Amino acid sequence: MTALTLALGDLTREHADALVNAANSGLLGGGGVGGAIHRRGGPAILAECRALRAGRYAKGLPTGRAVATTAGDLDARWVIHTVGPVWSATEDRSALLASCHRESLRVAGELGARTVAFPAISTGVYRWPVDDAARIAVDTVRNTPTSVDEVRFVLFDERAYEAFARRIG
């Protein structure tokens, strides 16, 4: 049974076996939580991302997929980078947001991670409404068989925290 827990604050201050990054397909940094991960995690993370771009993901990491690197100087063993969908009012991209959570858990399981901390993927620059993102994130984690013991959602503001808290119940 996987425990779902919540924290309010900065993901890069959390201790967990794996921290999930809301990345873009280029994997080479950006703003938001990914920018914070690269800043605090140091250059080792970016170096592995560049190697992925030079090899397996030459065209970028597709939306909905996940890949792990070192966590550099962060208090974790791995960063799992996943690419959320950009919110669209005209196209239902929920399956891709669910896939981010499922694929991140799959990668975490392969690594042997027992604790995994997620941000609210797609709810920042990618503009996904946070209540809907919380529904998809929580329901997907609950419905994905995994060897991970704890999934912690780390929310950056009260509004996101409340949305996830309501969903977890």
Q: Give me the residues that bind ligand APR (CB under 6 A), please.
A: 10-12, 22-24, 30-36, 84, 119-126, 154, 156, 160
| Beta bridge mates, 151 | 4, 116
Q: Which residues contact 1 (CB under 8 A, 6 or more apart)?
A: none
Please, which residue, 110 or 158, has the CB nearer to ligand APR?
158
Residue 148 CB, nearest approach to ligand APR (Å): 19
The candidate with the shortest Cα–Cα distance to 160, out of 120, 117, 126, is 120
What 8-state DSSP symbol labels residue 23?
A: E
* Closest residue by Cα to residue 32 from 129, 124, 150, 144: 124
Residue among 1 and 89 whose Cβ is closer to ligand APR? 89
- Decide whether 50 or 147 has the Cβ nearer to ligand APR: 50
C-beta closer to ligand APR: residue 41 or 148: 41
Q: How far is the CB of 55 from ligand APR (least distance, A)?
A: 20
Strand pairing of 78-83 and 3-8? unpaired
- Tell me how far, at minimum, the Cβ of 30 lies from ligand APR, in Å: 2
Q: Tell the smallest beta-carbon distance from residue 35 to ligand APR (Å).
A: 6
Question: Are residues 14 and 152 in contact, defined by beta-carbon separation less than 8 angstroms?
Answer: yes
